[in-house]
Every structure is written in structure tokens, then in C-alpha cells.
Amino acid sequence: MQINRTASAHWTGGLKDGKGLISTQSGALKDYPYGFASRFEGVAGTNPEELIGAAHAGCFTMALSLILGEAGFTAEHMETSAKVTLESVEGGFAITAIHLSLSGRIPGADEATFTELANKAKAGCPVSKALASVPITLDVKIV
């Protein structure tokens, strides 16, 4: 089985004065603005790191749902945030770290079991695998 998804970016202008628009195949994002100011100066709009974080949090949480089910558990709820760190390094900018923070209520699972299964999901989710060159850390909390 092969699944292909597409997204696109449109850009006009220079780096600092330019403006970009991001769109996704599904239409979840359609001509959504991004640019230098939204990436580096905190101005409204999205940026690549935020989108990577959303993709990683979503993929990881879905993978964990599968792994929990295989272990006989069903999540009452889970919430994952992904902090993607962009830093100036020799030669330019690089994503240097991703930190996943997970909280959830899993009836019948203690924190040690939840953490073990979450680490398995972190290692196995497709987005984690795609981002393997970046250190990925995880903290887990039962609520």
C-alpha cells in the first residue's frame, strides 16, 4: 500500500519582505500565510517548524493509540504537544531538537506501562522515523 499526500507553498518577494502561502491537499490549510516575521519574529501566521510539530504530535498520538490497543488498553483521552527547536548553527539554521509532551488517561495502565508504550510509539511513528536525524525526547504524564 502506498499513500501520497501533497502540500504546496507559494512565495513572492525577498526573504524578509516576502510573503508566502501554504496549502494542503485536504484544504485544511488553503493559502495560509507564512513568512519571515511569522517564523522568526512571532508575528501571526504559520511556519515550517509549527507544521512539523503538528504533524509529529498527530502521528505519534495515532501510533500510540494503535500500540495501546495491541496491549489491551484504550485511551480515554490523550494530548500531545511537540516543541520544535530551530537554532542558528554553523552554516545557517537547523532544527536541533523536538520534545514531545504527552498526557493522558488510560484506564488500567500505570505510568510505567504508559511510558513504555509511548516510547515504543515515539520510535515507531512514521514522522519520528522521518525526523530521525533530530534528537527527539518525550515526557509522559497520567492524568
pLDDT confidence of residue 95: 97
pLDDT confidence of residue 143: 94
pLDDT confidence of residue 88: 94
* pTM of the predicted model as reported, rounded to 2 decimal places: 0.94
Query: Could you tell me if 86 and 119 lie in one domain?
Result: yes
Which residues of the chain carry a pLDDT beneath 50?
none
pLDDT confidence of residue 13: 97
Q: Do residues 111 and 133 make contact, with C-beta atoms less than 8 angstroms apart?
A: no
Length of the chain: 143
pLDDT confidence of residue 76: 97
Query: Could you tell me if 119 and 54 lie in one domain?
Result: yes
The parent domain of residue 50 ranges over 46-140
Closest residue by Cα to residue 97 from 72, 48, 133, 66: 133
Query: Could you tell me if 16 and 83 lie in one domain?
Result: no
Query: Could you tell me if 17 and 68 lie in one domain?
Result: no
Query: Could you tell me if 77 and 98 lie in one domain?
Result: yes
Query: Could you tell me if 9 and 78 lie in one domain?
Result: no
The number of distinct structural domains making up the chain is 2
Q: Find the CATH number of the domain harbouring 127.
A: 3.30.300.20
Query: Could you tell me if 80 and 132 lie in one domain?
Result: yes
